[in-house]
A and B are shown apart, each in its own frame.
Chain A
């Protein structure tokens, strides 16, 4: 019996905004809060909530600091976050493949 790819999806990651955060953090190595907010088109509060879900799940590391006098928040992926992103993309690709194979 083969497990349907939908069963492998992680509820924390399988969401447009959170997958976007993980993708950007993966590509950028570490990314500033403002860049995430602009690229994902979110309010600061909304982005903060998504980040806190990802942080609680151990997928991102959040670092707060100052650059000159400006407060800055940097987000980077943890090894678990890297793996979660890889797994999610693999599941999504498998899902598309299965849908295409099932199509008449």
Chain B
């Protein structure tokens, strides 16, 4: 009887380590994080003139200290649902094309479906809030931190951030998870800096997305080069 030694690369530790390396390579090949970030940055910037041109105050009420109005931009209620649906269609096409060219499958479907659902739900909730004055203390409590937080979370910028968390899960991308959470914090509490300027708020959100998109594009490029 002869004893066949196990080749060193077939030891359990080496096999598991090779396994992890291969999993990481597949994930890197599947990722295309920069594309949705840059696309949403462009859409957010493009929304500024639409919001400004159709912006007007409705249902103003006077409290003891101040006069509070519901700001309504009919144009943005048409622009955002349309832009979101088209954007997610473009993202799905981008990921499918990329997967085909790289030779790996893609798991983008949950992100696209959740993104569209969140965008439509957020539009519905925010439309409902402006058409039902008086509900949950709105608009008299409109300046309160809780109302502003809710308002920003159901804004298109908030919907983009929530869907980014789903993309982080789909891509198993910790860096994107951290970015998504930071972005959501900025979106949710950015009103402190831009209370009276909805366009400044959109510009800040777009700038964060743009910087994130550029950062992820550079990181993906570097990872691709080091793997080659």
Contact = CB atoms under 8 A, between A and B. Distances in A.
Partners in one complex: yes
B103 A27 contact: no
B19 A29 contact: no
A24 B20 CA distance: 10
A16 B103 contact: no
A34 B102 CA distance: 9
A55 interface: no
Interface residues of A, number: 25
Contacts of A35: 29, 102-104
For chain B, give the interface size range: 20 to 34
A92 B16 CA distance: 7
Interface in A9-29: 14-16, 19-20, 23-24, 27-29
Contact of A23 (B7, B9, B22, B102): B22
B150 interface: no
Contact of B19 (A20, A30, A34, A99): A20
A31 B104 contact: yes
Main secondary structure of the interface of A (DSSP, over half): helix
A50 interface: no
Contacts of A14: 10, 15
Nearest to A85: B19
Contact of B23 (A16, A27, A95, A96): A27
Contacts of B100: 67
B104 A89 contact: no
A32 B104 contact: yes
A24 B104 CA distance: 9
Nearest to A29: B105
A101 to B, nearest CB: 14
12 contacts: A16-B10, A23-B19, A27-B22, A28-B26, A28-B29, A35-B29, A35-B103, A39-B22, A89-B16, A95-B12, A96-B16, A99-B12
Given A33-B103, A89-B19, 17 more contacts: A20-B22, A23-B23, A27-B22, A27-B26, A28-B30, A29-B107, A30-B105, A31-B103, A31-B105, A34-B103, A39-B25, A39-B26, A67-B100, A92-B12, A92-B16, A93-B16, A99-B12
Interface of A: 14-16, 19-20, 23-24, 27-35, 39, 67, 76, 89, 92-93, 95-96, 99
Interface of B: 7, 9-10, 12-16, 18-19, 22-23, 25-27, 29-30, 100, 102-107
